[in-house]
Amino acid sequence: MLKTIHQKRVNAKNENRERKKGTSIYLLLWAVFSVFALAIVIIVSVALTAVTGQAYRDEAEQEVREKGSHLRLVVTSQVPDSFHTMSEYVRYLNTSYGVDIFILDLDGSVMYPERPNYELPRDFPSRTQELKTHLQRAGTSSIVYERPNAFVYGATITLYDNREETVFLYVEKSLQLVQAAEEQILLRSIMLGTAVFFVAFIVSSALSRLLTRPILEITEKAKTFATGNFDIDFHGAAYNKEMIELATAFNYARDEISKADTMRKELIANVSHDFKTPLTMIKAYASMIVEISGDIKEKRDQHAQVIVDEADRLALLVGDMLDLSKLQSGLQELKKTVVDMSAYVHEIIDRFDYLRETQGYTFILDVEDGLFACVDEIKIGQVLYNLIGNAVNYTGEDKKVVVRLKTVDKNTFRFSVSDSGKGIKKEDIPTIWQRYYRSNDSHKRPVRGTGLGLSIVKAVLIKHDLHFGVESEVGKGSTFFVDFTMEE
Ligand code: ADP
């Protein structure tokens, strides 16, 4: 036994550990949101950089091509009068076209401008070589090509004042601006990415709080429920559809568990209540045999018979209590048969003979013969027994109990039991049918009870669909009644 409990605890611990390994919704949402945001930012920035970069490149290429062709015409024409030298003219063109213009001789040396606006790059001779190679490969007199960080327009030309000599026109458009733009896009993408990360963080926290709040709430409620609080309601404010379904399922489980728990409690209470009465009688008759009737055969046999009957009744009750608790939870059907109620009432009254004989109780019977009803005999027997037992318990000093079985109309007859006790206050009448209700003065009663008698009566009669009730006047006594449907 101890080992099993220990094993269970170990299992529970392992289970908890297993559960703790699970990723929290919060982290999961955050990860998903962040990865999603990151993916979008990367895709957008890569696409944007590529598209914009390409557009800039195309534009630069187009520009160098157009300006190059135009400059080719310009530099091969006569230098305008306003310029003193070719160098001056080229410098001017350089500035006004926004591109680098050089006129190179066939060796690759810069002819014009003689003093460029800026220092020539160190690799300039190799660029001339590059131009020559491109022109040769294309087999044309002009070409546009891309070199690292620049587009170049190159052409073989003859200058206006020296038609004999072939020279090169070299026009270069730098791509530095394009690169700067690409860098800007990248920088903004990183900033945007950081911002999106931040937004994803806030949104995922808010969303996860929204999603996990009801789960945490239900978890807390389940813990309270586990301590035996069946009043818990798993529904909560502002639950979404899925959470409402979950809460409804929990509530259903709660109701079922609570029903089973109530059934268990009722069974124990009912069993003890209904066992006490016959046991008391068995004990009383056994004492009577010992003390009074031991030597008087006739009396002794009669008393012994009551003991046998009560023992039988106990045996019957063992099975019956189970049936009853099922009946109260709506699980059991009645076993109805046609019962001679007139004879049955006599039979039940006989069980109280010991009270007549030992304690001076008087039972006045007004029982019509030949009244039949279709009922569950054992359960209705229990009802009549409980009602008569109560009348005995609560009757007045005269110790009188009146039992009647009388026709009401052609379809109905009424069983009633009256006592001359102190009666029941009007406001108490609804509560006496409730389970576990007991008046305070329940000590020292001839028929012992646990406060369940009337709730059993009520359950059985409701199940039979029979009309029943109590009429009581404080100080005068009470009459409990049941109306049976006449069976031909
Ligand atoms: P018990 O009699 O064991 O207490 P019952 O369920 O049979 O349990 O009765 C519930 C309560 O109803 C009693 O405690 C008592 O207060 C009241 N009661 C029942 N029958 C009578 C009666 N005949 N006269 C007065 N009070 C009664």
Nearest-angstrom CA–CA distance, 440 and 132: 122
- pLDDT for residue 252: 93
- Between these two residues, 330 and 199, which has the higher pLDDT value? 199
Distance CA 406, CA 416 (A): 9
Please tell me the distance between residue 390's alpha carbon and the centre of ligand 1 in angstroms.
6
Token pair in block for residue 273: 């209540």
pLDDT tens figures, 396-423: 999 999 999 999 999 999 999 999 999 9
Least confident interval from 209-213, 303-307, 350-354, 474-478: 209-213
Structure-token match 């209904």, residue found: 274
- Give the percent of the chain with pLDDT over 90: 35
> What's the pLDDT band for 389 if we cut at 50, 70, 90?
very high
424 close to ligand 1 (CB < 6 Angstrom): yes
Tokens of 401: 């109990």
Ligand 1 atom 19: residue of nearest CA: 390
Residue recorded with tokens 């109530």: 262
Check residue 134 and give its pLDDT.
92
- Tracing tokens 């959470």 back to the chain, one arrives at 243
Highest mean pLDDT range out of 14-28, 246-260, 308-322?
246-260
Could you tell me the pLDDT band of residue 11, with boundaries at 50, 70 and 90?
A: low
Which whole number is the average pLDDT over 68-82?
Answer: 91
pLDDT value of residue 442: 43
> Cα separation of 260 and 211, whole Å?
33
Give the per-residue pLDDT at 28: 82
- Burial class from Cβ neighbours inside 10 Å (0-12, 13-18, 19+) for residue 411 reads exposed
Closest CA to 422 of 458, 362, 473, 365: 473
How sure is the predictor about 443, in pLDDT bands with cuts at 50, 70 and 90? very low
| Per-residue pLDDT at 318 | 65
Q: Is the CB of 272 under 6 A from ligand 1?
A: no
Please, is 259 exposed, middle or buried when counting C-beta atoms within 10 Å of its C-beta (0-12, 13-18, 19+)?
A: middle
In the structure encoding, which two tokens stand for residue 291, read together?
């003390």
Which residue type, as a one-letter code, is found at position 379? K
Tokens of 440: 């305070």
> Half-sphere exposure of residue 343, counting CA atoms within 13 Å on the CB side?
7
- What pLDDT, on a 0 to 100 scale, did the predictor assign at position 17? 57
In this prediction, residue 441 has a pLDDT band, given cuts at 50, 70 and 90, of very low
Q: Which of 5-14, 55-64, 355-364 has the lowest mean pLDDT?
A: 5-14
Residues 6+ apart with CB under 8 A from 258: 230
Mean pLDDT of the chain: 84
Q: Region 39-43: what's the mean pLDDT? A: 83
Residue nearest to atom 20 of ligand 1 (CA): 390
- The answer to whether the CB of 387 falls within 8 A of the CB of 456 is no
Range of weakest confidence among 122-126, 239-243, 395-399, 400-404: 122-126
Ligand 1 pocket residue status of 240, Cβ below 6 Å: no
pLDDT, mean of residues 126-139: 87
Segment 312-328 shows an average pLDDT of: 65
Q: Is the pLDDT of residue 440 over 70?
A: no
Mutate to test the pocket of ligand 1, among 280, 435, 439, 471 (most ligand atoms within 8 A of CB): 439
**8 Å CB contact between 323 and 274:** no
| pLDDT at site 239 | 80
Query: Cβ atoms within 10 A of the Cβ of 45, count?
Result: 18
CA 329 to each of CA 68, 257, 284, 463, 470: distance values in angstroms, whole numbers, following the listed order = 100, 12, 34, 11, 25
Residue 312 has pLDDT above 90, yes or no: no
Residue 467 alpha carbon to ligand 1 centre in Å: 19
379/103 Cα distance (integer angstroms)? 124
**Residue 451 confidence (pLDDT):** 54
pLDDT by residue (tens digit) across 294-308?
Answer: 788 888 899 899 999
pLDDT of 148: 85
pLDDT (0 to 100) of residue 454: 86
Q: What is the mean pLDDT of residues 253-262?
A: 85
Residue 379: closest CA among 349, 412, 339, 411: 339
- Select the more confidently predicted residue: 216 or 8: 216
If phi over 0 gives left and psi between -120 and 50 gives alpha, with beta otherwise, what is residue 171? beta
pLDDT digits (tens, 9 = 90+) for 451-473: 567 878 888 999 999 999 999 99
User: Ligand 1 test: best mutation among 277, 432, 437, 476, most atoms within 8 Å of CB?
Assistant: 432
In three-state secondary structure terms, 283 is: helix
Q: Between helices 297-328 and 377-394, what is the axis angle to 10°?
A: 110
Question: Does the structure show a pLDDT above 50 at 3?
Answer: no
Give, for 102, the enclosing helix (H) or strand (E): strand 100-104
Task: State the Cα–Cα distance between residues 107 and 313, nearest whole angstrom.
Answer: 133
On whether the CB atoms of residues 170 and 111 are closer than 8 A, the answer is no
> Which position has the higher pLDDT, 209 or 451?
209
Residue nearest to atom 8 of ligand 1 (CA): 451
Measured CA to CA, the distance from residue 362 to residue 343 in angstroms comes to 19
Amino acid sitting at position 452: L
Least confident interval from 85-89, 186-190, 418-422: 186-190
Number of other residues whose CB lies within 10 A of the CB of residue 57: 14
Our answer on whether the CB atom of 394 is closer than 6 Å to any ligand 1 atom is yes
pLDDT of residue 453: 77
